[in-house]
Chain A
């Protein structure tokens, strides 16, 4: 599996670290209910198919990326810089 980093080009997935689903949004600090925080920390859609996920180019440019990938085939559809995309919005 290779990920095409917007800054570095196509690189082996070994250069990247994986965080998980890019969609959950951290609730706002002290205002969040316990249920909302539980939902954010623990619950996932875990789809079989299209998945927007956060990868970190630790052995490259140190950018956080949002990768849109099919979890059934590992085919990568899109790679965006996380800072430039609003995580949680439609890709």
Chain B
């Protein structure tokens, strides 16, 4: 080994692109196959920040990248940057359990999540990127007469809003997923509410796809660029100070769920949000076991299987304020107990890993897409633990708000002032207690 090997200058990766990143197709794949896959270019440019932009999106997660893409592709605003403190996709877009669905009850929510589902359905063609969207169905189990009635009501509300929903009895559920514990002494499975169009997507590829498509539309993606202050002139947000220098912008948009309170505080705002940690889990890879998404009705637990073979589990948030991106053991125990109660056979499989992400838990369990009291500053926040499925519609509606200065019709209820006016959207009906949503 050579002990005196030193770099004489910082190691930097410089990439010279002759044009925008390539378009992916079966022909580009064939051409690259013949060339030994040596001609692939980066999926997006790692941009250096310009001094000024028309719109500056803070947060290079799914929602921020989607916002920038829709600003450029739908509203013709191409002088846009997304700035991210780490690398894109390092936050919650890569930490969730990848479920997509639109099975919401309340009028403020249903049309929004249905728009998101429709955008998911055309996402890969729109972005020219394989996000592995899989409409394998989402099945919510019920275990009592009262819960069946509640799910029937939810299903009817969904169908009235044009969303697909089917109420299944026990035998219909058994035909789909025969291996569950139907005769469980305490919580026997009585049936389920099925949304066939629901399913899952590959979460990293959603971030990469929006980055790819945004970049092709001229969006600058600036990584390792943390905001340290929001620049104000005459009460108006005019840009940001960052670890890579100041950047001016005509409009500044926050898409930093998990850290919304911290960034909004830079503009003097206090939000109706607490940050909480949510854990997720994946087992060792196994052969195909479950070809849909099942949620347990007698506890907070759900399971699906990734294309790599791992069973993906989710459950409750830990329940206390946290920015730690890691949780504690009681929730792990609770999730595994629910897994064993629903599906005893899963006990033969080993848990591989678990991780945590930081959620913006809002005071009514619903998100915020709105202007702020600060002119030029727009807010996309409060996604609780349901932000992934919302990614396309969140970006679509936030871009609409930023470009036109009026809310998109399906996101018009997601106002910041709804807490003061009493127009809260509380799906669970638990009140202003974020750790219960």
Q: Which listed residue, B271, B320, B433, touches A53 by the CB 8 Å rule?
A: B320
Provided the pairs A1-B328, A71-B322 are in contact, do residues A20 and B435 lie with their beta carbons within 8 angstroms? yes
* Contact between chains at A44 and B324 (CB < 8 Å): no
* Contact between chains at A44 and B270 (CB < 8 Å): yes
Distance between Cα atoms of A21 and B320 in the complex (Å): 10
Q: Does A51 reach chain B (CB closer than 8 Å)?
A: yes
Closest-by-CB residue of B relative to A49 is B323
Interface range, A side: 20 to 34
Among A1, A42, A69, chain B packs the most CB atoms within 10 A around the CB of A42
* Contact between chains at A45 and B322 (CB < 8 Å): no
Q: Does A26 reach chain B (CB closer than 8 Å)?
A: no
Closest-by-CB residue of A relative to B434 is A20
* Contact between chains at A13 and B328 (CB < 8 Å): yes
Residues 261-301 of chain B, each 1 if its beta carbon lies under 8 Å from chain A, else 0: 11001000011111100000000000000000000000000
Q: Does A85 reach chain B (CB closer than 8 Å)?
A: no
Chain A contacts of B322 at CB under 8 A? 71, 74
Distance between Cα atoms of A53 and B323 in the complex (Å): 15
Residues 43-67 of chain A, each 1 if its beta carbon lies under 8 Å from chain B, else 0: 1111110010100000000000000
* Contact between chains at B275 and A46 (CB < 8 Å): yes
Q: Return A13 CB to nearest CB of chain B, in Å.
A: 6
Q: Return A52 CB to nearest CB of chain B, in Å.
A: 11
Residues 1-52 (chain A) with a chain B CB within 8 angstroms: 1, 12-14, 18-21, 34-35, 38-39, 41-48, 51
Chain A contacts of B32 at CB under 8 A? none
Closest-by-CB residue of B relative to A2 is B328
Q: Does B49 reach chain A (CB closer than 8 Å)?
A: no
Residues 406-422 (chain B) with a chain A CB within 8 angstroms: 419-420
Q: Return A15 CB to nearest CB of chain B, in Å.
A: 10
Q: Return B375 CB to nearest CB of chain A, in Å.
A: 20
Q: Which listed residue, A20, A34, A35, A44, touches B272 by the CB 8 Å rule?
A: A44
* Contact between chains at B323 and A71 (CB < 8 Å): yes
* Contact between chains at B323 and A72 (CB < 8 Å): yes
Q: Return A74 CB to nearest CB of chain B, in Å.
A: 6
Chain A contacts of B328 at CB under 8 A? 1, 13, 74
Distance between Cα atoms of A57 and B330 in the complex (Å): 15
Residues 291-320 of chain B, each 1 if its beta carbon lies under 8 Å from chain A, else 0: 000000000000000000000000000011
Distance between Cα atoms of A51 and B272 in the complex (Å): 16
Q: Return A27 CB to nearest CB of chain B, in Å.
A: 14
Q: Does B363 reach chain A (CB closer than 8 Å)?
A: yes
Q: Which listed residue, A34, A42, A71, A74, touches B432 by the CB 8 Å rule?
A: A42
User: Contact residues of A with B, CB < 8 Å?
Assistant: 1, 12-14, 18-21, 34-35, 38-39, 41-48, 51, 53, 69, 71-74
Known: A38-B419, A46-B261. 4 other contacts (CB 8 A): A14-B330, A20-B434, A45-B261, A46-B273
Complex A-B: 11 CB contacts under 8 Å: A13-B328, A20-B433, A38-B419, A43-B270, A43-B271, A45-B265, A46-B274, A48-B275, A71-B323, A71-B324, A73-B324
